Structure 1
């Protein structure tokens, strides 16, 4: 995969750091373990966010990956140029497929990890020993990303902002943490009608503080969880955003 400009900045940096590490350790080729180690340890990356949310020890995974790297062949001497191994090329090709599955315009570091879990038995085993499977990683990743697509080369800031400044009403509804909404059926139905349109589908709730605008949104979140909505709204997330805190940074 040579189309490096179609990768996010974090993905490009992970690749470069992996190549640098392989060269530092005298490994003649860059292996999936080199890349995945960089992805896991990358400051500000989405993969560490996901793993930490899963309460997984990043240090344990990094140590296990390093143990694998320590057993790779080594060559000495100056002027040795490392190349991508066949296993890494295989991972890259799978990462492209992962990006397409998400309908993303750029390949990101989470695509690398998902590809590693699918193409490398050793990486899959190592992560499973630390409580990470394809399924639970993907589930937690979707909790963080939601329905967002990667349409530029710096998506991590957007993912982080949504979790930092947002409040997921559908998640609260699923956990039974929202109070029942009474007497707002007509308003909730009207909001659902607008959201279900093909065009002009942005409802606006206008009213003085305390009249029940938030209650309507919470009622909609409960209906989404109960699937008491049209098919187009199934499995959607409803998130409130604190604009004041977002602007304040």
Structure 2
């Protein structure tokens, strides 16, 4: 089995869909998009090659909710790293939405999201830790200022506020439970 991906037709797709997030493309839009991709494939590849391909799958544009789920997964990895330093982090819905907007590109999809999280959250948080603005035993809340949730948020800024970490942060296991599960 051989699987490969292509960006053929993505410029047409982004023009057709427009900028921003898809709100769940209607069936007719998807069929038009699929036809455009097939037309681009025919322009770039010889029929003999295309005839050897069993199936061509065209993925729909990601929705904002899906991008936010990806933000949650990637931030979860950062949270695991912070846990080793006796810290925890939570993002407001507004912060997640801004990361999703800044990290999503209609043509590239979610590829830039990882870099956006690293630049906007991880690097900034590292500086806060380095300058002792936040530290061990704290829950860091990431929020946004200068953004009303509309537009691209060019002037928006992420804020980091540390406060004493509660005994257990949501989704965290007590240390005794972790030790017990490790010995099993």
TM-score normalised by structure 2 residue count: 0.26
Pick the structure with more helix per residue. 1
Decide which structure has greater strand share: 2
TM-score by length of 1: 0.21
